[in-house]
Amino acid sequence: MSEFIMLSRRDFLKTGALVGGGLILGFYLPFADSDSCAAEQTKGFAPNAFIRVDHDGGITFIVNKSEMGQGVYTSLPMLIAEELECDWRKVTVEASPVAAVYDHTVFGSMVTGGSTSVWSEWERLSKAGATAREMLIAAAAKTWRVEPASCHADNSRVIHASGKALAYGELVDKAAKMPIPKDVQLKNPDTYKIVGTPRHRLDSPAKVNGTAQFGLDTRLPGMLTAVVARSPVFGGKVVSYKADRAKAVPGVKQVVQVPSGVAVVAKSFWGAKKGREALDISWDEGEWAKLSTPDMHRDYAGLAKTPGLIARKAGDPEQAYALATHKISAEYHVPYLAHAAMEPLNCTVDLRGDGCDIWTGSQMQTGDRNAAARIAGLKPEQVKIHTTFLGGGFGRRANPHSDFVIEAVEVAKVVRKPVKVVWTREDDMRGGYYRPIWSDRLTAGLDGNGNLIAWWHTIVGQSIIAGTPFEAAMIKNGIDGASVEGAQDIPYAIPHLLVDLHSPQIGVPVLWWRSVGHSHTAFVVESFLDEAAHVTGKDPYEFRRVLLVEKPRHRGVLELAAQKAGWGSTLPAGRGRGIAVHESFGSFIAQVAEVSVTPEGVVRVHRVVCAIDCGRTVNPDTIAAQMQSGIAFGLSAALHGAITLKNGRVEQSNFHDYPLLRMNEMPQVEVHIVPSKEKPGGVGEPGVPPIAPAVANAVFALTGARLRTLPMTPETVLKAMKG
C-alpha cells in the first residue's frame, strides 16, 4: 500500500462544502494544507484522495466503491480520466481504505448500494480530475515560464501553444508543489472523449488470469480456518455441546462457543467442516420453531383484506370504485428470496492487542469497521478493512447488522491467531437475511370507456429497515419506504388511489435484495395493470401509453421497447409477448418479453427487448451488461427462486433446490439506451423489476392464464392454465 493511502499519518483536510441537495462537491486532500500538497509525498503526485501520478507516468485511481461485477472499477475511473486528460492505457485501480474522505456523498459513510455509485460521485471525481489537470498544467507553465492559459492537457501530456510538450511523469515533483486551485472549470460534456464511450473493464484482466483477490483468496501466515454451527431455527441458542469427536478430526485445533453458535477452528476449511459435522449440539430453538410458509401465506392474505397504514391516498377511491363500470380484484404472493451470490460469505480477521486487520468483500465498510471495533474493544481507527473483490453481493454484503464480520471478530477474539471464517453454500442459503415474502391485494375500477379511475393496493410484508440504524430516517409514520416503493409512487394517471401497508414482525432476518422493494412491487403493479387493460379489451401497450401521458421518460422507454420488439407484429406460433415499464433508482426501464410454454408448463423466455433511460451515461457497455445481468437475475427469481420454511427451518440448501438461471435458459437480450442529458440514474438494479411482470404478461397473452404467484414453476403455470 502506498504512502498516499496510509491514512494514520495525518488526518484528511476537507476543502469542499455541502451543496446541491446534499451532494459533496469538494474532496479531501491527503498530507496537505490549503496551499500545497508537497508535504509527505514520497511517491509521485497525489493531488487528492483519488489520484496518484507516478514518475513513470503510471496513473492510479483510488476507488471508494466495492467492485462486485457492476463495473465501478471502470466507470468511476472514467469520470476522473475524462477531466484529467490522461492516457487510459496507463490507468490502474486500487481499493480505498476506510476513511471519512471516501464516505458516500449523500449517505455519510463508506457504502456501495442503491445503484448510487456513479451519480453520487460524478461531481466529486470530475473535480478531482480537473484539479490534478490544472496543477500539472501549472507545473508545466512554470517550467517553461509561460502563462498556464497557453497550455492544455491531452493524453497524459501538457502541451504548449508552440507545440512543445511534457509528459505527466516528468511533471510529478513540480506539480506536487503547486497551489491547489480553489475552483476548477469542468469540461463541456460535448467535448468528452472518454465518458459516454464504450471502454473495456479495468478489472477483467485480473479476473481472467486469476490474480484478482476475492475474500476467499485471502491467505495470511499462520492463518487458521473456522466454520460455525448455527441454530437451525432463527433466534435459537446453544444449550450445550460436546466437542470430543470434533476435536479428534485431523487438523482441528479448537472448538469454541461464540454468540452465533459453535465455531470449529482447523488448519484447513475441510478439517473445520468435518469437525463441525462431528459436533453434538443441543439447541433451544426459541419462538419461531413452528414457523411455516403456508401459515405465513394464510396470515398475510388475511391481513391484506384489512386496512393498513396509509402510504398514499389521492381522491376518493372508495366512491370511485362504487361507481365503476368494470371492477376487478386479485391477490399476489411472492416468496422469500436468497441473495445466492457465487462467492459465499467469508471474513478473515487478524486481531492484535493494538489493532485489527480485516479482509472481506464488504458493501458497507464504515459500519463493518465500527462494529468490528466495538466487538474487539478497539477504536475505529485501529481497525482496517481491506476490501477485496466481491463474488456477488446483491445487498447481502451491505448488512447494517454486520453479522458475518462481527462473527469473525468474535472467533478471532478466542483463537488469538489470524482466522478466516467461511460460510458454506448451505450456511449462506440458510443463514438468513432474505428478500421478504410479500402478499398483495389489489382492487381496481374502470369507467364505461375503459378508463382506470380507482386503484387500491394493500401490501403485507416485513420491514427491512426496522431495527437498523436507518429506522429513524427511513420509516415515517410507521411506513417503511422500501416496502412501498414502486407502488406508492405508481406513475400512472389514476385519479382515485390508495396504497396501504401492514408490516408484520417475523423472526426471519430480512434485508435489501437487488432492486429492494421494486423487486416485488413491479411484478404486482405491472401484472395487475395488465389485468385492467384486458378486462376492457384494450392493448396493454396502448393502455399504458395513455396513462403515462404526463410521464415522458416512462413513456419514452415504453415506446422504444415496443418499437424495437415489433409490438403488434405477428409472432411465430406458440409465442406470446408481454410488456412492463418501471422506474427505480433514478432510471426508467421498459422490457418486452417473448415467451413460450411447453405442455408440461415450463416457461421459456426466448427474447427480451430492454429500453433504458438512465440519464447521462458513462460506459454504454456497462449499462448493457447490467441490463443483461439484471434480466438474468430477475429471471432466476421469477422462474425458480423461493426460500420456504417448515418447522422454522429453511428447506433449501444449495443450487440443486434453489436453482439459478442456466445458460440454456438465458434469452436473447437487446438493450437500447435513450440518449439523455438528465441527471444520471442507477443501472445495477433497475433491470431486475420489469422482467417478471413482462414474462407473466406474455404467458397470459399466450395462454390466457394469469400468474399471480412466483416463481413460475410448471406446477404454478399448469394450475393457472386450468383456471
CATH T-level assignment (fold) for domain 216-286+345-422 = Aldehyde Oxidoreductase; domain 4 (3.30.365)
Distance (Å, whole) CA 185 – CA 158: 17
CA dihedral of residues 243, 249, 252, 256 (deg, nearest 10): -10
Distance (Å, whole) CA 115 – CA 519: 14
Q: Which helix (H) or strand (E) element contains residue 366?
A: helix 365-376
Same fold for the domain at 3-202 and the one at 307-336+434-721? yes
Q: Name residue 137's amino acid.
A: I
Domain ranges of the chain: 3-202, 216-286+345-422, 307-336+434-721
The pLDDT assigned to 444 comes to 98
Positions in the chain whose pLDDT score sits under 50: 1-42
The pLDDT assigned to 43 comes to 62
Distance (Å, whole) CA 358 – CA 469: 22
Mapped onto helix, strand or coil, the DSSP state of residue 332 is strand
| CATH code for the structural domain at 307-336+434-721 | 3.30.365.10
The owner of cell 503510471 is 58
The pLDDT assigned to 19 comes to 25
Cis bond leading into 659, ω under 30°?
A: no
Distance (Å, whole) CA 229 – CA 682: 38
Regarding beta strands 237-242 and 23-24, do their DSSP bridges make them parallel or antiparallel, or are they unpaired?
unpaired
Asked if 317 and 370 touch (Cβ cutoff 8 Å), the reply is no
Dihedral angle sign, alpha carbons of residues 74, 78, 79, 81: positive
Contacts of 294 (CB under 8 A, 6+ apart): none
CB atoms within 10 A of CB 31: 21
Regarding beta strands 452-461 and 496-502, do their DSSP bridges make them parallel or antiparallel, or are they unpaired?
parallel
State in Å, rounded, how far the first CA of the chain is from the last one. 64
Distance (Å, whole) CA 517 – CA 475: 14
Asked if 579 and 585 touch (Cβ cutoff 8 Å), the reply is no
CB atoms within 10 A of CB 293: 18
- For residue 643, what are the β-bridge partners? 336
| CATH code for the structural domain at 3-202 | 3.30.365.10
Mapped onto helix, strand or coil, the DSSP state of residue 81 is helix
Q: What is the pLDDT of residues 622-643, one digit of tens each?
A: 999 999 999 999 999 999 999 9
How long, in residues, is the chain? 723
CB atoms within 10 A of CB 108: 12
> Which of 425, 364, 434 is CA-nearest to residue 397?
364
The pLDDT assigned to 534 comes to 96
Distance (Å, whole) CA 623 – CA 696: 25
Contacts of 488 (CB under 8 A, 6+ apart): 311, 312, 481, 499
CB atoms within 10 A of CB 677: 7
Asked if 671 and 628 touch (Cβ cutoff 8 Å), the reply is yes
C-alpha cell at 713: 414453476
Burial of residue 450 (CB within 10 Å: 0-12, 13-18, 19+) is: middle
> Which of 137, 134, 179, 175 is CA-nearest to residue 158?
137
